[in-house]
Amino acid sequence: MADRYMIEPDLNFIKELNGMGADTLKKCYQCATCSVACPISPDDRPFPRKEMIAASWGLKEKLIKSCDIWLCHNCGDCTTMCPRGAKPGDTLAALRNYAIMDYGKPRALAEAVNDPKKLPILLLIPAVIFVIVGLITGLLDFTPEGSEIVHSHFFSSWLVDLIMVPASIWTVVIFAIGIKGFMKDIHENAVAEGKTQKEKLEIVPFLKSIVNVIPKILMHSKFSECGENEERATSHMMVLFGFIGLFIVTSIFFVTMYGFGIHGPYSQLNPVKWLANIAGVALVIGSALMIKNRFAKQPDQNTTYKDWSLIGLALALGLTGMLTEMTRLGGAAGLSYTIYFIHLMFVFALFVYLPYSKLAHLVYRTLAIAYADYSGRKF
């Protein structure tokens, strides 16, 4: 099917991409070496050459609505092989970052999350919310009693959940809005560019494709197909499974607390506690390895604020969580309460800012890979 897009260059879009890490875009002279070098690019309309051409022309709508920008894992093969140093992987990373902002509503918050100047304000917001809501409800107790340090004496579990549950709902709603537009756009793009013969997106077969690709995503099989930066798979898997483990632990504690009335602190011999500790250590080590790899690859690998903010948040979450537990077990009440408060600020930031951060690519990339599977493209 013929491409239905009109050529309507958006010069401001090109400037924005440059500011997001695609500053070498204009070096590309469209030799297609990147598409040939990429080991995971589909045979049918391979990337990233066509994306480099479209980005050079400022074809915003064509690119942001494309499923293909999410299939790229930015492994570095194309950048290494590019004879001009155009770094196609960085351009596709910038396109994904732009798309996350575009699908994140409200746009003003999406822009704030990606503005380093707004970081102090974004971290201050949860602190203010906790203090104000805690004082209004009387659930914030600065004078805990008892010989055992129990954070629920200082921060009532009701206060934490009173804030975190709505924060979680907010994240789900914002993602739902973004996913609705995302799925509509990538399907329309695929139909327009002949990437699929299915005029209508069928929900049940698509859900089956999601189930098909999840094991591949969890095992990072596409990372292992890439030559450059192959070591990134280890750190990415540690962070991913760290988050998954902590999500499982949080869900279990939530259910046991409100479903069975079982409150903490839990014994260190509890299997759920084991999972929490292992997941926390994985998160810390994985994010530290990411930082090490980033420094080792520069200047070959472009690293943006969006990259550093995510890695920093992961490391901060892991460290404050582990230090909170260690200081509690050590009996350092004041220090433990302080670190726990800081930890809660990072947890709030994780949930509320998730749809606008780089971590959102876990959702959009999963859907894009599932769509490629659904449409029958060999990826």
What is the per-residue pLDDT across 73-106, written as a single tens digit (0 to 9) for each?
888 888 888 999 899 999 999 999 999 999 999 9
Query: What is the C-alpha separation between 321 and 318, in angstroms, rounded?
Result: 5
% of residues, the chain, pLDDT over 90: 52
**pTM of the prediction?**
0.88
**Is the residue at 3 inside a domain?**
no
Across 99-115, average pLDDT: 93
The more confidently predicted of residues 313 and 226 is 313
Q: How far apart are CA 287 and CA 242, in angstroms?
A: 10
Which of residues 334 and 151 earns the better pLDDT score? 334
220 or 174, which is more confident: 174
> Are both 167 and 278 inside the same structural domain?
yes
- Residue 325 pLDDT > 80: yes
Q: What is the CATH number of the domain that holds 45?
A: 1.10.1060.10
Domain end (from 87, 103, 119): 103
pLDDT at 297: 64
Q: What percent of the chain has pLDDT over 70?
A: 89
Residue 379 lies in a domain: no
Q: How many alpha carbons fall within 13 Å on the CB side of residue 81?
A: 19
Q: What is the Cβ-side half-sphere exposure of residue 284, based on CA atoms within 13 angstroms?
A: 12
What pLDDT score does 112 carry? 94
**Chain-wide mean pLDDT for the chain?**
86
Q: Which two tokens stand for residue 169?
A: 């709902």
Name which residue leads in pLDDT, 296 or 166: 166
- CB atoms inside a 10 Å sphere around CB 319: 19
Query: Does 113 lie in the same domain as 96?
Result: no
Q: Which of 71, 88, 69 is nearest to 31 (CA)?
A: 88
Same domain, 318 and 331: yes
Provide the pLDDT for residue 314.
94
278 vs 258, residue with greater confidence: 278
User: What's the confidence (pLDDT) of residue 1?
Assistant: 41
User: Domain for residue 5, yes or no?
Assistant: no
Is 378's pLDDT higher than 70? Answer: yes
- Residue 4 within a domain: no
pLDDT at 7: 62
Which tokens is 7 given?
């050529």
Confidence band for 121, pLDDT divided at 50, 70 and 90: very high
State how many domains the chain has: 2
**Whole-angstrom Cα distance, residue 67 to residue 59?**
15
Collapsing DSSP to helix, strand or coil, 38 comes out as coil
Question: Is residue 8 predicted with pLDDT exceeding 80?
Answer: no
> What pLDDT, on the 0 to 100 scale, is given for residue 264?
67
* 1 domain-assigned: no
215: in domain: yes
Residue 2 forms part of a structural domain:
no
* Claim to verify: residue 340 and residue 231 sit in the same structural domain: yes
pLDDT at 153: 46
Residues 234, 364 within the same domain = yes
- pLDDT tens track for 194-218: 888 888 999 999 999 999 999 988 8
Tell me the pLDDT tens digit for each residue of 226-250: 766 666 788 888 999 999 999 999 8
Residues 63 and 178 in one domain: no
| Domain residue limits at 59 | 11-103
pLDDT digits (tens, 9 = 90+) for 143-195: 544 445 544 444 556 788 889 999 999 999 999 999 999 999 999 999 998 88
Q: Are residues 87 and 170 in the same domain?
A: no
Q: Say yes or no to pLDDT of 41 above 90.
A: no
172 belongs to a structural domain: yes
